[in-house]
Amino acid sequence: MLAAIEEFCEHGYAGASTTNIVRAAGCNIRMLYHYFESKDGLYLAALTRVYQHLRSSEASADFWNLPPRQAIIALTHFTFDYMLKNQSFPRMIINENLNKGRAAVNIADSIRTASAPFIAKIDKLISQGHASGDFANRPDALNLYLTILGLSFIHITNRFTLTTTFGVDMSSEVFLSERREHITQTILALLSCSIKPERKGLKV
């Protein structure tokens, strides 16, 4: 499966070669079709695997029972570190979005079933932190996670163009350390500042 994930990450669904996959995996094409029936079946299994690995890693993390502020910091660090160490996830997701999510709809139920408890845990942390006064703001849990997620892999998925544009090596240890801390402070600032609701229908 790892060989398939790497091939799909590198070449996308359309460009991936089952010949390359079986060669890298040390098996034969008949085994591939026996277990997965088709290239479509193999791709769907690979996509499922990267989602499952992320969700299971989040679920088994040991920070959920920490005080809210510490838990949010740990969640931010976890997400940042996971995306850096498991770049097959952002790469597969980018390729699937280029494919307009055609395969993901086939596993939508399982993805949502795994994701719902995760977002509920984040919502619980936000609620606890807001009730205790640690968080002045109470953002939507999904929006908060999307902010953490987006900030945690733009420098990975766009590292080549960003490195060229700004002359900063986006993969260097110094940059990644500073980036991790910046994202953490950004998330804490979002939770800590008091944001007034937008006023509508203002009179001029």
Q: What is the pLDDT of residue 86?
A: 93
Domain contains 28: yes
Scanning 17-64, the segments in alpha helix (DSSP H) are 18-25, 29-36, 39-59
Whole-number pLDDT of residue 189: 94
The structure's pTM equals 0.86
**Domain-embedded: residue 171:** yes
pLDDT of residue 204: 38
Structural domain span for residue 136: 2-192
Number of domains in the chain: 1
Is 26 a member of any domain? yes
Question: Which pLDDT tens digit goes with each residue over 131-153?
Answer: 999 999 999 999 999 999 999 98
In a domain, 202, yes or no: no
CATH number at residue 188: 1.10.357.10
> Is 54 part of any domain?
yes
In a domain, 197, yes or no: no
Confidence (pLDDT) at 84: 94
* Residues of the chain where predicted confidence (pLDDT) is lower than 50: 199, 202-204
How far apart are alpha carbons 98 and 95 in whole angstroms?
A: 5
Q: Give pLDDT tens digits for 10-23.
A: 888 888 888 888 88
